[in-house]
Structure 1
Amino acid sequence: MTTHASESIGGRRLHDCLLSGMSGNAEQVIVGLNWTLVAARGGAGMAQTPARGTAGCRSLPRPGSYSGQPLAALAALWQSENVFEHAIAVAAINARWNRFDLEGSPRNGLELIENRGERTVVIGRFPGVAERHPGIAVVEREPRPGEYPESAIETLLPKAEFVAVTASTIINGSLPRILTLCKDAFVLMIGPSTPLSPALFDLGIAALSGFVAADIGRLARAVSEGGAVAALRPFGRYVTIQRESRH
């Protein structure tokens, strides 16, 4: 499942809803070892930096030109064939939605996961989740013993009642297919790459748990120096928003 989301009808709808209301310019763009950061006046967004998959240097098409561009122009890189530009696009989108003043629950989204055995499917390897919730189905691109390969979503998701999905599925393009397969499940998206956009509720996601930056200077330094999630956490806060109950 490596096709960009923009190549499917579901992906185009995802793209369109996330790009609504884009304004302002990117003040800083960093493509770090683990995370890509786009900072703007009203907010900052992150996206997981894709694995290079090749030896030696690999460049973005226009290094040195991304900072200062309109967020809308960076978000349009969603269509790019370059995976790093695609990550910049997601980070720019998150800079629009994950505003510094955004309000929501401070809970870590991992706390919302419910154990319903294999009717709980977690897509992505979150530290400690399998240990805290024995019997759930964990799906990974490179599965370890006890985990399922990506191909298993075709059989696991239609029966699922609770699905927790990494926000990296936006970047790798697999989210539209995932949402198609689990229309009746409670779907939770987790991770610093999560766009905290209520528009995603209309696509079938019930809860969004992401990251809102607070100290841009120190966050940017941590990203540029290869920081992982634990290194970023002190420079922002978790925010979780949920869809209103439907009766």
Structure 2
Amino acid sequence: MSSPWDVYDALIDDLPQDVTVVLSDRGTRWTRVVNSADGVGSAWSMKDTSRPAISVGTPDAGRPIRDVAALVRSWNLAEASVGQAAINSWYSRAEVAARNGFVPTGAGLTWRQVFDPYADAVTGRVVAIIGHFPFARAALHKAADLQILERYPEPGDYPDTACEYLLPQADYVFISSSSFVNKSAPRLIDLAVGGGAHTVLVGPSTPMHPLLLELGVDTVTGYVPDPEVGRAEVIASLSPTGQIGPGTRMHQHRTA
């Protein structure tokens, strides 16, 4: 990719022309978009609104999914959350994810278990995690050095600006896909893959598209919501809770 925007353009270019947005909801922690093909997409809600929104006064509902998805390019990050959720509303459809090569990770698995498969693999290794996952330290305690990088650091975390220094030296890098909203994902992937790290994208904000594997990511994890999550009343009740809602974790590994 010659430009970081190429990643976003490719994700938008593969969206259908004839699908529209039916509903969008900017929840406290999760932003959701429902499309006319019954797809539901989620993205981490970011509240940064320093730049003017480019869609002020324009309702999301009724617009082509590609138009709403283009909001991911906005530097008003609250608006960009809607764009990423619109992108994911297509790639998080079960049939689209399957067509793109993604398979269910396992029945009943939640995001709390996303690091568990790497518990032994990271033994004695340097591990960097983009995003503060409170359950990561327990799962990856065998790592020689566990580095958590966070935009709003908690005690023991590194500031996320340390990525330029730490990721090229890491053996394993786990990247929260909320980074697609704040536009840091392309650079984080480049730093991790370029340094030779085993690189994993995690979280419901992940667009399940094989492009990410072509960029060198080793494992892409995503999420397919249960069909009922698409109902307006369910979205309204879920948003304030901070919970992502019922669904199935999906993944795809890169083949050598």
What TM-score, normalized to structure 2? 0.81
- Pairing 1:119-158 to 2, within 5 Å after superposition: 119-134=126-141, 135-158=145-168
Select the structure with the greater relative contact order (CA < 8 A; seq sep ≥ 6).
1
Letter in 2 for 1:198: P
**What is the identity, as a one-letter code, of the residue corresponding to 1:221?**
A
For these two proteins, the number of residue pairs brought into alignment is: 231
Q: SS at 1:30's partner residue? A: strand
After TM superposition, give the deviation of residue 116 of structure 1 in Å.
4.3
Cα-Cα RMSD: 2.4
Question: Separation in 1 of the partners of 2:54 and 2:25?
Answer: 12
- Residue identity matched to 2:4: G
* Aligned mates of 1:223, 1:176 — CA distance in 2: 30
Give, in whole Å, the separation in 2 of the partners of 1:180 and 1:80: 22
- Partner residue, 2:7: 14
8 Å contact 1:97–1:195 — kept in the other structure? yes
1:65 to 59, 72, 75: 59
1:227 match: 241
Correspondence 1:46 to 2:42: yes
**CA displacement, residues 22-75 of structure 1 (integer Å, 9 cap, x when unaligned):** 121111111111111111114211111113479xxx988435611111110111
Distance 1:180-1:232 versus aligned 2 partners, 3 A rule: closer
Identity %: 27
Any unmatched runs of 5+ in structure 1? 1-7
Distance 2:23 2:154 in 1: 37
CA distance in 2, matches of 1:67, 1:86: 16
**Gapped regions of structure 2 (runs ≥ 5):** none
Distance 2:75 2:48 in 1: 14
CA contact (8 A) 1:14 1:203 kept: no
- Find the aligned partners of 1:64 and 1:73 in 2 and give their Cα distance: 11
In structure 2, what is the equivalent of residue 5 of structure 1?
Answer: none
How does 1:67-146 map onto structure 2 within 5 Å? 67-101=61-95, 102-103=97-98, 104-107=103-106, 108=111, 109-113=114-118, 114-117=121-124, 119-134=126-141, 135-146=145-156
The amino acid across from 2:6 in the alignment is R
Could you say if the C-alpha distance between residues 116 and 27 of structure 1 is closer, same or farther in structure 2, counting changes exceeding 3 Å? same
Structure 1 residue 240 and structure 2 residue 251: aligned?
yes
Q: 2:211 aligns with which of 184, 199, 210?
A: 199
1:42–1:100 Cα contact (<8 Å) kept? no
Q: Which amino acid aligns with 2:128?
A: V
SS at the partner of 1:211?
strand
1:192·1:210 contact (CA, 8 Å) conserved in 2? yes
Cα deviation, 1:10-30, whole Å, max 9, x if unaligned, reads 421211221132121111111
Paired with 1:18 and 1:242, the residues of 2 have a C-alpha distance of 19
Deviations 1:189-241 (A, max 9, x none): 111111111111112212111211112226413444x121xx333x2121122
For 1:63 and 1:33, the matched residues in 2 are separated by 21
CA distance in 2, matches of 1:66, 1:175: 25
